[in-house]
Amino acid sequence: MKKGRFGDFGGQYVPETLMGPLEELEEAYLQFKCDQGCKSTLDRLLTEYAGRPTKLTFCKNLSDILGCRIYLKREDLLHGGAHKINNTLGQAILARYMGKTRLIAETGAGQHGVATAIAGAVLGLPVEVYMGATDIARQQLNVFRMQLLGAKVIPVNNGTKTLKDAINEALRDWVANVRDTHYLIGSVVGPHPYPEMVRDFQSVIGVETREQILEHEGRLPDAIVACVGGGSNAIGIFHQFINDPVRLFGVEAGGKGPGPGEHGASLCAGSHGVLHGAFSYLLQDGDGQVAPTHSVSAGLDYPGVGPEHSMLKETGRVQYHTVSDEEALDAFFLLSRTEGIIPALESSHAVAYAVELSRECRKDDVIVINLSGRGDKDVHEVARLRGVAI
């Protein structure tokens, strides 16, 4: 396989100015991986600060309802409320190791922005977060959280004013300030080495899940389900099971329907293209213009997807499906009421697909859902959608 490629996918489709810095980042990352000091700093922060390992929770009530054995990998219990911190702590330590003095990030739902703000605060690096104006409006709580954590939130008013435009703007910032700034990408997207590096930082999810399920069940699960926007939580849990007889399911945002602009299902409904530095599946028109997207969850409202997912789709190792806004909302309520756990709207997509999958399952079948984040950030939006004033 060519360097920086997953099958045909991936690569470094970036302006020349970034090629040198990406090479530096790759070299530094290789050194960082062997550096005992960095490794112990990361391990310590992940355990004592972020809350790793996270629990694998058996959901008795939901299992009774669905007629199979449902487990949740509780990334929602991490500091900051989502899996994002696995990656931000890793990259922030790397940035410091490289002598960078400033972090920038993009954010959609705000979870990655919050996780970057947290990492910046604890590691002493100033943080600026690019966020689409539309997302700012629907994720007010996270905007204020980032500000409380000392980060500066920069509204992006270009294009569709969502995650993809925030990434464009962060890349523009990085091009201009590459000498002292690290761009802390929040998912397994972007040019090489980001997809590989973010996967490495997130693969702790799968490593723990494997140990924990063996402890609980004495065997590997039958299926693992995770939501896919850019795809970092999904890659994080899948990676450890790629060579095992475990069915893997990625769930994309089906939004309001299959029409153009109504969903965020890059793998299920897109075609080959280049966005944000990587060759991957992409929602676009016939002329190569990137299509608008929609999802009830800001974190899945993205026209691209990580290049490794594109490979996993084409090899057939992972099956990708969509779940609509309505189904995700139903799952949001279902998990809240049956298990007392309010899932993020992103993760609710995975829960919703597990409900569907359970219909073909036997009583002893084991399904693990990656509960990538908690839903506190979505409470306001869900109330609004249900016409409740709070």
Partner 1 sequence: MSRIDQLFGSLDRPAFIAYLVAGYPDFETSLSASGALIDAGADILEIGVPFSDPLADGPTIQRAHQSALEGGMTQNGVFNLVKEVRRDYTTPVVLLAYANHLIARGISRFYEDAAAAGVDGVLVVDMPPEECEEARLNAEKNAIDQIFIIAPTTRDHRRDMILQKSAGFLYLVSVLGVTGVRHRLSPETLAFVRDLRSHTPVPLAVGFGISSPDHVMPLAGAGADAVIVGSGIVDIIGRSIAGQPSAHDELAAFARDMREACNNCSKMNRS
| Catalytic sites, residue numbers | 59, 83
Q: Residues 175, 207, 220, 385: which binds partner 1 (CB under 8 A)? A: 175
- The residue among 194 and 279 lying less far from partner 1, judged by its C-beta, is 279
Do 254 and 322 contact (CB within 8 A), yes or no? yes
How far is it, in rounded angstroms, from Cα 93 to Cα 76?
22
Q: Residues 9, 12, 130, 184: which binds partner 1 (CB under 8 A)? A: 12
Regarding 16 and contact with partner 1 (CB under 8 A), the answer is: yes
Q: Packing angle between helix 325-339 and helix 345-358, nearest 10 degrees?
A: 90
Piece of the chain touching partner 1 by CB under 8 A; list 78-86, 94-102, 174-182, 334-342:
174-182
Q: Residues 178, 185, 296, 342: which binds partner 1 (CB under 8 A)? A: 178
In the region spanning residues 266 to 295, those forming contacts with partner 1, defined by CB under 8 A, are 272-277, 279, 282, 284, 286-290
Token representation of residue 188: 């397994």
Regarding 179 and contact with partner 1 (CB under 8 A), the answer is: yes
Regarding 209 and contact with partner 1 (CB under 8 A), the answer is: no
Token representation of residue 30: 């290789």
Do 63 and 96 contact (CB within 8 A), yes or no? no
- The residue among 189 and 351 lying less far from partner 1, judged by its C-beta, is 189
Q: Residues 6, 21, 142, 264: which binds partner 1 (CB under 8 A)? A: 21
Piece of the chain touching partner 1 by CB under 8 A; list 55-63, 109-117, 173-181, 195-203:
173-181
Piece of the chain touching partner 1 by CB under 8 A; list 84-92, 132-140, 177-185, 349-357:
177-185
Regarding 182 and contact with partner 1 (CB under 8 A), the answer is: no
Shortest separation between residue 11's beta carbon and partner 1, angstroms: 5
Piece of the chain touching partner 1 by CB under 8 A; list 5-13, 94-102, 130-138, 260-268:
5-13
Closest Cα to residue 202, out of 182, 224, 231? Answer: 231
Query: Pairing relation of β-strands 127-132 and 152-156?
Result: parallel
Shortest separation between residue 26's beta carbon and partner 1, angstroms: 12
How far is it, in rounded angstroms, from Cα 190 to Cα 192?
7
How far is it, in rounded angstroms, from Cα 387 to Cα 347?
22
- The residue among 182 and 349 lying less far from partner 1, judged by its C-beta, is 182
Closest Cα to residue 230, out of 138, 298, 141, 175? Answer: 298
Token representation of residue 304: 């691209």
Shortest separation between residue 167's beta carbon and partner 1, angstroms: 8
- The residue among 273 and 343 lying less far from partner 1, judged by its C-beta, is 273
Q: Which residue has the tokens 């009830």?
A: 296
Q: Is the C-alpha dihedral spanning 159, 164, 169, 175 positive or negative? A: negative
Q: Residues 53, 159, 260, 261: which binds partner 1 (CB under 8 A)? A: 159
Give, as one character, the DSSP assignment of residue 319: E
Strand order across the beta sheet in which 271-275 lies:
5-6, 9-10, 278-282, 271-275
- The residue among 47 and 157 lying less far from partner 1, judged by its C-beta, is 157
- The residue among 13 and 333 lying less far from partner 1, judged by its C-beta, is 13
Do 315 and 211 contact (CB within 8 A), yes or no? no
Q: Which residue has the tokens 């409006």?
A: 137
Q: Residues 61, 158, 315, 337: which binds partner 1 (CB under 8 A)? A: 158
Q: How many residues at the interface with partner 1, by CB under 8 A?
A: 38
Do 276 and 307 contact (CB within 8 A), yes or no? no
Closest Cα to residue 349, out of 301, 308, 390? Answer: 301
Shortest separation between residue 349's beta carbon and partner 1, angstroms: 25
**Residues in contact with partner 1 by the rule CB under 8 A:** 11-21, 23, 158-159, 164-165, 168, 171-172, 175-179, 272-277, 279, 282, 284, 286-290
